Amino acid sequence: MIIKTAEFLKSSQRWQDCPEGNLPEYAFIGRSNVGKSSLINAMMNRKDLAKTSQTPGKTQLINHFLVNEEWYLTDLPGYGYAKVSKVQRKEFEKLITNYILNRKNLVNLFILVDSRHEPQKIDLEFMEWCGESAIPFTIVLTKTDKLKPGAAQRNLQAYQTKLLEYWEDLPQMILTSAEKKTGCAQILDIISETNAM
């Protein structure tokens, strides 16, 4: 897919405030600092369409972008951010789960996980929740440029082994680097293939 236009539309506090759900939508989700906003910028060939930061917790609202005037790309706040109170964290989780469950035009979630780390409980639990809720998702391993060649592939296999402990079918998995723009075309291919609204 060629990106002709990508524009920021709106930041929303709640799913009810999101732009009209008249176009197919794809959302990026994952732990704070995993690289959601950076990968969105890499895919869109833009430096700071989505705001990035070295400090976790940068994205705090639901951010909608309109791409090629045909579909929405959504940058969600990261989950599992440690430096907020328990109450705030629950509020965040509610914002995210409500958005996912109520946003009818959401076609696919891209769940981002850091390619350098072993499968984390919080991500595995979130994937399980998506499975139970019948939410289609793709797993995206980020920051592969920080690994030696071969290590990312090994970590991907470790992830698959872990998932097969309790999943019968493996979700689609993509190795990416926002730095090197690896995997961006693959994500866009998935979006093209499923963009049938």
User: Where do contacts with Mg ion occur on this chain (CB under 5 A)?
Assistant: 36-37, 58-59
E strands within 13-83? 25-30, 62-67, 71-75
User: Which 3-32 positions form the footprint of ligand GTP (CB under 6 A)?
Assistant: 32
Count the neighbouring beta carbons within 10 Å of the beta carbon of residue 63. Answer: 25
Closest CB to ligand GTP: residue number: 78
For Mg ion, give the closer residue by CB, 2 or 82: 82
Is position 63 an interface residue for ligand GTP (rule: CB under 6 A)? no
CA separation for the pair 44, 25 (Å, rounded): 15
Residue type, position 161, single letter: T
Classified as helix, coil or strand, 138 is: strand
Is position 36 an interface residue for ligand GTP (rule: CB under 6 A)? yes
Is position 108 an interface residue for ligand GTP (rule: CB under 6 A)? no
Stretch that binds ligand GTP, among 4-12, 50-58, 90-98, 164-172 (CB under 6 A): 50-58
Look at residues 32, 122, 121 and name the one whose alpha carbon lies nearest to residue 83. Answer: 32
Instruction: State the binding string over 152-191 for ligand GTP (x if CB under 6 A, else -).
Output: -------------------------xxx------------
**Three-state secondary structure readout of 171-189:** CCEEECECCCCECHHHHHH
Q: Report the interface residues with ligand GTP, using CB under 6 A.
A: 32-38, 52-54, 56-59, 77-78, 142-143, 145-146, 177-179
